[in-house]
Amino acid sequence: MKKILALTFLLLATTWSTAFAHTHIASSTPADGDVITTPLQEMTLTFEGKLEAGSTFTLKQDGQDVAVTTAVDDAVLTGTTTEPLTNGAYDLHWNIIGADGHVIEGDIAFTVDAPVEEPAEEPIEQEKAEVTSEVQPTETVEAPQQEKAQASKAPLLIGGGLAIILLLAVVMMRRKK
């Protein structure tokens, strides 16, 4: 009986530690608090475990959304913009789904302070140039709505199964007495 209880305890101890482990961020480029002095178009977040589909992040400058395309590759979440980011303070809010099914989120604040390239001066023509001004409609690109993943039921099933085994072991011990 002691062997059964010891085995049950060992199974519970090893199962619980892996079942409730969450995926945490390991590193990011840029990191929280960084001041970037070069043109920045790609942000990379690396996590300790595999990410599930639906993991994403949003980027804001002064409260305004910045269009970013995100991609997940194993434990890496990458976001790219069409143009280098302009100088200013940015807030990156990430929202990931870990391999265990849990949704985890966090924030990274960074600043872009890259040198601004001044356009080369064009020679001024003597003739009068016709000035036209066209207003181009701007497109607002919204990040697709991500479905919230349901938490994995595996830990509950394993825990329930082990509880039943433990209950059966106790009942069998009492019958022998």
pLDDT score at 124: 56
| Complete domains list, the chain, with CATH | 2-117+140-176 (2.60.40.1220)
CB 108 within 8 A of CB 92: yes
Closest C-alpha among 48, 142, 149 to residue 95: 149
What CA–CA distance (Å, rounded) separates 79 from 155? 32
User: Which amino acid belongs to residue 85?
Assistant: L
Neighbours of 112 (CB within 10 A): 20
Which regions in the chain score pLDDT beneath 50? 17-19, 138-152
Question: H or E stretch including 5?
Answer: helix 2-19
pTM of the model: 0.57
pLDDT score at 95: 95
